[in-house]
Copies of this chain bind each other. A is one copy, B any other.
């Protein structure tokens, strides 16, 4: 599936939040996870900008730890504000996607 970038706007950040909520993880691994989920064209640069935004907005806690296979990793965890943000993301998603699905069903 090519060129999903416009459709991912506004949802990719929520996906990253959800992945972090699932387990403490780091940028490179998040990119891989998104690619495995089917968002094959999402690149690391995009993920890092999202992570920096999350940090700037005070939604995550960051811990830098050394790795044995490369440079140090920055591990991310959701704080209370991040969990709230994730909850509102899912409620927005529920709201929008249900209405779009309804429009789709109506048209056939």
Contacts and interface: CB of A to CB of B under 8 A. Distances in A.
How many copies the complex holds: the figure is 2
B107 A21 contact: yes
Nearest to A6: B10
Interface stretch (A24-32, A52-60, A93-101): A93-101
Contacts of A107: 18, 21-22
A93 B97 CA distance: 9
A1 interface: yes
Contacts of A69: none
A9 interface: yes
A5 B9 CA distance: 10
Interface in A68-105: 90-93, 95-97, 99-104
A70 B97 CA distance: 35
Nearest to A99: B38
